[in-house]
Structure 1
Amino acid sequence: MEGEVQERDVLEKRQARSASVRLAANQGSYYTSITLGTPPQTHEVLMDTGSADLVVLSTLTSIPLPSGGTADACSTNCIITAPLYDPSNSSSAEVTSQPVSITYGTGSAEGVLVSDSMGFGGWEANQTFIASPPSLASALVSSPDQTGLLGLAWQGLSESGAMPFVQSLFEAGSLEEPVMGFGLAPLDARSVPDPSAVVPGGILSLGTTLPSLYTGSLDYVPLSSTSGNELYWSIPLVEVQVAGKALGLSASAVVIDTGTNSIAIPQSAAEAIYSQIPGSAPVAGSQGIWSYPCSTDVSLTFIFGSTAYTLPPQSFNAGLVSSNGRLCAGAVSSLGSSRRGGETWIIGTPFLFSFYSAFRFSPPSVGFAPLNDSESLLAYGAIPTSSGGEVTVSVSGLGGAQATAMPGASAAGMNEVEWSTLMMAGVLALVLVGGGAAW
């Protein structure tokens, strides 16, 4: 028996490897291809380090929902053009009658548990996930080509109870290194003037990081909770600065979230930041978005561990909010002053596309490093499509670049910001003690 265990351990080590996955970007979110079923069905899913479940829009209708009643076929708000997951076309699918729900920062999803074969990055394994009816599309996706969301947080956060796919690779010893890394292409308003355009989104690496994309070494910060029951990729925040001035803002745990396309923070913290930006003000009716003069270059710094990370001014610019072109939306938004909103910090993509980020399973930690000159490579190359093929497009340069729009999209200048594509599209899964994901 001991010999069998040793042989299996050696086999697992030989099979451990790494992979790089191309990402697409649209409406401030990053997504890529997975396959489900036998034979494989290709789906585009958002990469979300702020939740832990795979949720996929499916052909299932008239299924029981935790909120009561049933969900039928999509009749309104039908934005999806890509094929839905169809368990009847998979010989390996096992559909249960167990309803489950998950609540995100700005919406919720419901469905039933399904078990089926999943492929991602060259690995394949059986995965339990949530199959949702198509009528719930608006809660999950921001692009007609997306049909789901892949949670990359820890199993303790999972509403289905299933271990997230990448964590399961780590636990099985299938990753060459216990880490996943994100080199994200910039999606600020100057780099991608038309948020509806589909553009290359960068690279996700599994089982390794990509030193060619960053300078120096990654500075890791241990997770706020390393008790063995981790939920989020959350780390302590030491300080926040605007134009080099320390604001006395800190937090014991801020969530590092690729699925939220703003830096969403407590109202009091947002007020402290914008008080240092002359001419800034809350945007009426926007539920937490602030405007500031577009002519102002904002220098915003976050200190994690012993390292200060200053966003480029263009990363702070989320797009126009006035027709005269004078006011822009800031990348920092307010979560409100409620008990939950007053405690929650979410560091989303405006920060993450400004630096290389690494999420390490052992020891549990998150690391950052400056992107180097080769970051322009992130804005070129093939991107996935729901047909299983690829389309090659490019973003010419960085910072002040113009996006090459996909057919049917316009990139003629910065659009006025759409509230739904800022903090409103965040997909952080929020959990309260007592079970059930909730805000």
Structure 2
Amino acid sequence: MKETTKRMLGACGMLERDKNMLRKRSVSLCKEMVVDELLIQMLQADGILTDSMAESILAETTSQKRNWRLLSLLPKRGPQAFSSFCTALRETEQEHLCAMLTEHRERCVDSPLPLPMQDTAKPKRARMQESLEMCLDADSPGISAVLPCSHDFYLSHYQQSYRMVSSPRGLALVISNVTFDPPAPTGLPNDLDRRVGGEVDEEVLRKVFTELDYTVTLHRNLSAQGMRACIEQFTRRPDHRMVDSCVVCLLSHGVEGAVYGSDGQLLELDWVFQSFDNAHCPQLQNKPKIFFVQACRGEEMDCGVDQTDGNERTESPGCEERDAARERESREREERQRERMKLPQRSDMICGFATLKGTAAMRNTKRGSWYIQELNAALRQRAKDTHLADILVQVNGRIKEREGYAPGTSYHRCKEMSEFTSSLCKNLFLFPKYCPQE
């Protein structure tokens, strides 16, 4: 039945007037549209795109190629394709593109197709929720389950890598601040808005690290003092002795070097890292400590610059890594002057930041943040055979391709860039779903 429906859909193309409008607006759509997993899954839910079509679109290496690929398929996908496409644009917060495409329909009173306007808003909203659940479902066609590491890959890499075979692999802590107290009369420095899409990010992280065989603990909307107490309690857990790593994810508003609690007070990131160092958390000595921070690190917006010549640069920013390496070398020189068996106080850490120093993250949407979306996809596809630092380089590259919205600017004209710091001493492969053979 499903195959019959697909054949019928392919045989009956889009209405000529809708084809013409897509053709007329194709240049603007190619430049400004964001084709991501949620938009594609909404079109799949409507039966407009098949699984193989969705995969071919998302496999394209640049945003413009993804846009052109989708626009070339839509005219062949039946008379409902245009209406479903407009609804998907509106539900993914690209209303200006939807309005641009539907101008001609507002003048056609006898249109045989339902207009993607207010009368269809409620059922489409319900379907969007289903699509969101699909995004979070590892078994859905858009987001695959974490791919397993092979026995051969493990045997060829484990000797140069951190031990990573315990089950669970480690403990993971996710602290997600979505809502914030209003400013007191005496005044907090900022009136912190609700982090739209924060619930999506926290659920994405919970699911992917559970699949990576971590025991995940999630805490929501903690004050700065509550975050501090939660982290202190987490570092004291005796389970750390029996596992091979740990993960800490902090999702909140932030400034350079700190994140906000739900009460508008700041928690210093340096204190967080110190809490897990070799002196304060001996249970994790010589084990990798993995941190992810989804928060602003300043207020500047990166509006980008025009590329003037040459091929697009693809190297990782790396400045944070070089700084970390210099700091590590300095510490190691000092340590060599002391007793040989001592460890540097802070080592075996890697931290992924959603933004560069001093810059603000793009506004979150109801489908979550760019950084967590890209991190989730990269971990699922590449953790089976890729060093974690290389995965974060790939995430940097995907974020660099995107363009977004910032208040006071034109749509899709601001840039974002993620980065990471590292004091790892070995290769860090997660070896997902690998169980050591007896």
| TM band (smaller chain) | under 0.3
Higher-Rg structure is 2
So what's the TM-score if we normalise by structure 2?
0.25
So what's the TM-score if we normalise by structure 1?
0.24
- Give the structure, 1 or 2, with the largest relative contact order (CA under 8 Å, sep 6 or more): 1
Point out the structure with the larger helix share. Answer: 2
Point out the structure with the larger strand share. Answer: 1
